[in-house]
Amino acid sequence: MDDLISKQAAISRAVEIRIFGKPVKMVAVSELESLPSTQPEPHEIGYPECANAMLKMWIDNVLTDGEYSRIMDKLNAHWAERREE
């Protein structure tokens, strides 16, 4: 995502641009302002995403068998509680 520019930087630059000595129309600025953000909104991930991440870390030897089991036990207990609510 290093090649993305910020929306504010694009808006600031659009205001500065002049074509044949005339500034860019404000329509371009309003269109830039209406663009969605390039960064997704943070959201809570669900059990499948957590479990898959844990499994991947275990397969890649980031976690030992004991660490994986301990964390998965806590994860399973947490999600079991949430299902009961």
Q: Mean pLDDT in each 10-residue stretch from start to end of the chain (85 residues)?
A: 62 62 59 68 86 94 95 93 82
Taking the C-alpha atoms of residue 29 and residue 10, their distance in angstroms, rounded to an integer, is 8
Which two tokens mark 12? 């600031």
**Shared-domain flag, residues 36 and 12:** yes
**Shared-domain flag, residues 57 and 25:** no
**Shared-domain flag, residues 30 and 55:** no
**Shared-domain flag, residues 2 and 26:** yes
**Shared-domain flag, residues 36 and 61:** no
Taking the C-alpha atoms of residue 41 and residue 22, their distance in angstroms, rounded to an integer, is 37
Which residue range is the domain that position 15 belongs to?
1-42
83: Cβ–Cβ under 8 A, 6 or more apart, which residues?
Answer: none
